[in-house]
Structure 1
Amino acid sequence: MTARRLTADETQAFLEANPAVQWIDAFLFDMNGVPRGKRIRRSDLAGVAKKGLLMPASVFIMDPLGNCIEETGRLWETGDPDRQCHLLGGTLSALPVGDGRHAQVVMAVDGKEELDPRTVLANQVERFARVGQTPVVAVELEFYVTKRGKNGAFVLSTPDGLSDDPCRPLTFGFEEMDALSAFIDDVYRICEVQGLLVDAVMQESGPGQFEINLKHRPDALVAALEGLLLKRAVKAAARAHGLDATFMAKPHHDWAGSGMHIHLSLVDQSGQNLFAGDPVSKLFLHALGGMRESMADFMAIWAQSANAYRRYVPKSYVSLAAHWGFNNRTVALRVPRDNGAATRIEHRVAGADANPYLVIAAILAGMWHGIANETDPGPAAEGNSETIDAPPLPIAWVNALDLFQRSPIVRGAFGSSFQEVFSRLKQSERSNFERIVTPLDHLWYSQVA
């Protein structure tokens, strides 16, 4: 899976090897990480591979429901022009579940589109490349498997054979993986066909909650894309078994939240880990300092939805402040016990519903800030970090968005256009979400006064 264009030979080989495939979904990912694109016929694939596809620029200013948000100032004012897109080599693959008639391929915008999350990450990677450094990245994702609701509607109902008791989570057990073994087999089968380097799967701490890890990639763009494609693979496997899967950060107030943990190191041109030291390098400490100092500025990236902020609660292995520490799961920035070539940071702040392109871009932006300014991370937290003072994170969405919109660190890394448009997009989503009166309002407040 690389950034090269899909070739005619690759296309022809795919068609010959997959005679049953009749439809191919060609898509890119918007700011929310939602795949958006077009479904093309088998007979059109070769032509599209050669000429590409057009996508409206408004695809990057959509809310999670697919509405173009005019408050961004990028809809009527621009005429919503098309953007030329090409198909990415290495991403054309069949979907080996269901009726066998479907396949998929990832698109990328020609050149650079300032509102494209892929471009935002590419810009951060290029900053490090100019000084001979390469980020090595792996994505971990947590998710819930549920029964499928009527007419495809989402319901949080645990599949048959699984516990529905949050006091009996069976964490790190095998019973629930045994019950869903056919589903898990299909997840890994899809990933194998698509070239996704999946690692371990484990039972997490919520009813029907699991975690799947991806292996490290010396290409941050590939690692981010694999995180997005893993989500799609999990959902496809769930549908094939009459189930559903969700990467909501907090699908139930009494159940464990779902996070996205990013493992990241930095290597030089000879492949040497620049974070390695005794116990870590000075460069790594500066990177930690930058990630700490910028963490609140990027909170709107770690938590991109109203639901995501419900995940930030005490005693949940989700840090509420910018702590760092060695082999300590209560901190936001965990340095695992591995050393030498395996020395890395585990960034534990983002919700599973966030866009990996933007999450990794924000981590790299914080690292760059710290290295450039030789920022001191302060002492490592020991024990329960919740009892130790540290810069708090803005765990109310309105505060996170305000800080993101004003941050010079965000502006310097992501550009003023992306900063402004993303802020307006999410402010619109926030105001629309918060204006809705829910049954809980009636239950709690109808009898007041």
Structure 2
Amino acid sequence: MSAELSPSGSTVAEAEAFLAAHPEIEAIDLVMHDANGIGRGKIIRRHELLGFYKSGRHLPISILGLDICGEDVHETGLIWDQGDSDLRAWPVPGSLVPLHGTVPARAEVFMCMYGLDGTPMTSDPRHALQRQVDALAADGLYPAGAFELEFFLLANERGPDGRVQPARDVVDGRFSTKTEVYSVDHLHGMLPLFSAIYAGAAAAGIKAETMISEYAPGQYELTLHYRENVMQAADDLMRLKRIVRAQARAQGVTACFMAKPIEHYAGSGMHFHVSMLDKSGRNVFVEAVEGQWSPNILHSIGGLRATMAESMLVFAPHANSWRRFVGQSYAPISPSWGVNNRSVALRIPAGDIKARRIEHRPAGVDANPYLVGATVLAGIRAGLSYRVDPGPETTGNGYEGAEAGEMPVDWRGAIEAARASTFLRDALGEDMHRTFVAIKAAEYARVARTVSEVDFDLYLHSV
């Protein structure tokens, strides 16, 4: 079999070198991320890897038109409108890595979808982010960044009340329903699991850094090293979620990436720290005099504020996502901005002036980082292009200044705002926009027609 020219830039030499360096690897997970960020693909045997790198792998176009349950969403136009035809997936260069702690030994590689003629399949979320990266590069700008990963560790069994409960410590089975925020000793109870997560990250070439006990029982945060390539930052986040989930499962607990699994406590965010470099590698957000903000960072914030309301479906894509937005909860409820202030949506963090950046706080950990990245970069581009004024800085309690009507108030409102948004259609690309909105509308309909326990609790003996 002769090698074809890979449109992704992958090479057979990469696979050959990997196999030579890892004779223990028996199988490889081929992973593509759909609109919901769910990894879909196949597991192949070792002897199949070179064929994948030589010729790609045929996969049905419908793999990118699935809802959260993996069922076809016909309104995407990716199912029978296309005859559920095969396109071709190709490896993402540099993404072939070993998996830690698997028996027998396995690896994984990310893949991206292309037409049979090698053109990008534009309902693939990776291509949406790459479009925005390329558009900024045409203007001589190169986004850098990192995502934060917040998550819960939950027991595999529900509590006596039928609700989820925090996991017991894997060291000695100790159980706590306290918030334990920033408690170092509390972290020690999960050290074997955290060590396995760090080992998995190291094997994958990810610089996982600080672990924190967060602001809810069983909630943690793991920070990632800043990347000069936001595509790599998004890859890090997606891969790390998979590592955390697998290592938690191996330790007998459940890693939960819902935005709001416990109703009376804070939810889990996926804050995106982003800065912009010029061709020489200089951070263009840095001010000439500390505290006198650069026009570049102010206009970028202005663009993000102006486009936030119509983009909220990307940042809060699920029914559960909207339970996270509660006052005094560390989740923003208005398109506000401020300095060293965690009550706002767009924060300029304190710290070294050379590391000046925007912390974009609306997205939940249940969002797709490729689509979040594409939308945020498009908002920054709009702000820079039109020199958008960010408006007054929010100081003090940003929840007190929030005004009704500034943002959608629920999932349905976000779907309708996204459907009508010219900005979001341009940010994601027409095909990705159509696919994403259609999937969300189908999921909304699924939830809306479901008769839940809440219905019976409220109405069974009352109406």
TM-score, normalization by structure 1? 0.95
User: 1:389 and 1:308 mapped to 2: Cα distance?
Assistant: 19
User: 1:116 and 1:410 mapped to 2: Cα distance?
Assistant: 15
- Alignment RMSD (CA, Å): 1.8
Distance 1:74 1:6, change over 3 A: closer
Question: How far is the alpha carbon of 1:183 from its aligned partner?
Answer: 0.5
User: 1:131 and 1:370 mapped to 2: Cα distance?
Assistant: 14
Question: How far is the alpha carbon of 1:296 from its aligned partner?
Answer: 0.5
Choose the corresponding residue for 1:141, options 149, 162, 165. 149
Match of 2:228 in 1: 218
Structure 1 runs of 4+ off > 6 angstroms? none
Question: How far is the alpha carbon of 1:6 from its aligned partner?
Answer: 4.2
Question: How far is the alpha carbon of 1:149 from its aligned partner?
Answer: 4.6
Deviation sequence 1:62-98 (CA, Å, 0-9, x none):
1111111112233111112212111123222221213
Match of 2:428 in 1: 414
Choose the corresponding residue for 1:276, options 278, 286, 305. 286
Deviation sequence 1:285-333 (CA, Å, 0-9, x none):
1110010010001000000111101111111011110000000000000
Residue 427 (str. 1) matches residue 441 (str. 2) = yes
Residue 373 (str. 1) matches residue 377 (str. 2) = no
Match of 1:229 in 2: 239
Match of 2:90 in 1: 86
Residue 26 (str. 1) matches residue 34 (str. 2) = no
Would the aligned equivalents of 2:128 and 2:428 in 1 still touch at CA under 8 Å? Answer: yes
Match of 2:457 in 1: 443
Would the aligned equivalents of 2:333 and 2:402 in 1 still touch at CA under 8 Å? Answer: no
Deviation sequence 1:187-235 (CA, Å, 0-9, x none):
0100001001212111111111110111111111111111100100101
Match of 1:289 in 2: 302
Q: What aligned pairs does 1:4-403 form with structure 2 within 5 A after superposition?
A: 5-110=9-114, 111-149=119-157, 156-161=164-169, 163-165=175-177, 168-277=178-287, 278=289, 279=291, 280-389=293-402, 392-403=406-417
User: 2:33 and 2:431 mapped to 1: Cα distance?
Assistant: 18
Distance 1:171 1:163, change over 3 A: farther
Q: Which amino acid aligns with 2:154?
A: T
User: 2:90 and 2:432 mapped to 1: Cα distance?
Assistant: 22
Would the aligned equivalents of 1:98 and 1:240 in 2 still touch at CA under 8 Å? Answer: no
Would the aligned equivalents of 1:146 and 1:208 in 2 still touch at CA under 8 Å? Answer: yes
Question: How far is the alpha carbon of 1:338 from its aligned partner?
Answer: 2.3
User: 2:266 and 2:400 mapped to 1: Cα distance?
Assistant: 21
Q: Describe the SS at the equivalent of 1:200.
A: strand
Would the aligned equivalents of 2:112 and 2:124 in 1 still touch at CA under 8 Å? Answer: no
Would the aligned equivalents of 2:212 and 2:222 in 1 still touch at CA under 8 Å? Answer: yes
Which runs of 5 or more structure 2 residues have no equivalent in the other structure?
A: 1-6
User: 1:193 and 1:139 mapped to 2: Cα distance?
Assistant: 19
Would the aligned equivalents of 1:28 and 1:108 in 2 still touch at CA under 8 Å? Answer: yes
Match of 2:4 in 1: none
User: 2:77 and 2:113 mapped to 1: Cα distance?
Assistant: 21
Distance 1:222 1:175, change over 3 A: same
Q: Describe the SS at the equivalent of 1:298.
A: helix
Would the aligned equivalents of 1:276 and 1:339 in 2 still touch at CA under 8 Å? Answer: no
User: 1:14 and 1:389 mapped to 2: Cα distance?
Assistant: 53
How many pairs align? 442
Sequence identity (%): 36
Question: How far is the alpha carbon of 1:18 from its aligned partner?
Answer: 2.7
Question: How far is the alpha carbon of 1:156 from its aligned partner?
Answer: 2.4
Would the aligned equivalents of 1:57 and 1:81 in 2 still touch at CA under 8 Å? Answer: yes
Would the aligned equivalents of 1:297 and 1:403 in 2 still touch at CA under 8 Å? Answer: yes
TM-score, normalization by structure 2? 0.92
User: 1:231 and 1:57 mapped to 2: Cα distance?
Assistant: 25
Q: Which amino acid aligns with 1:221?
A: M
User: 2:156 and 2:21 mapped to 1: Cα distance?
Assistant: 33
User: 1:4 and 1:196 mapped to 2: Cα distance?
Assistant: 21
Which runs of 5 or more structure 1 residues have no equivalent in the other structure?
A: none
Would the aligned equivalents of 2:36 and 2:367 in 1 still touch at CA under 8 Å? Answer: yes
Would the aligned equivalents of 2:8 and 2:112 in 1 still touch at CA under 8 Å? Answer: no
Distance 1:20 1:397, change over 3 A: same
Q: Which amino acid aligns with 2:427?
A: A
Q: Describe the SS at the equivalent of 1:83.
A: strand
User: 1:127 and 1:14 mapped to 2: Cα distance?
Assistant: 33
Question: How far is the alpha carbon of 1:374 from its aligned partner?
Answer: 0.9
Distance 1:429 1:135, change over 3 A: same
Distance 1:107 1:149, change over 3 A: farther
Q: Describe the SS at the equivalent of 1:31.
A: coil
Q: Which amino acid aligns with 2:434?
A: E
Would the aligned equivalents of 2:151 and 2:220 in 1 still touch at CA under 8 Å? Answer: yes
Would the aligned equivalents of 1:26 and 1:38 in 2 still touch at CA under 8 Å? Answer: yes
Would the aligned equivalents of 1:137 and 1:223 in 2 still touch at CA under 8 Å? Answer: yes
User: 2:248 and 2:402 mapped to 1: Cα distance?
Assistant: 42
Q: Which amino acid aligns with 2:318?
A: S
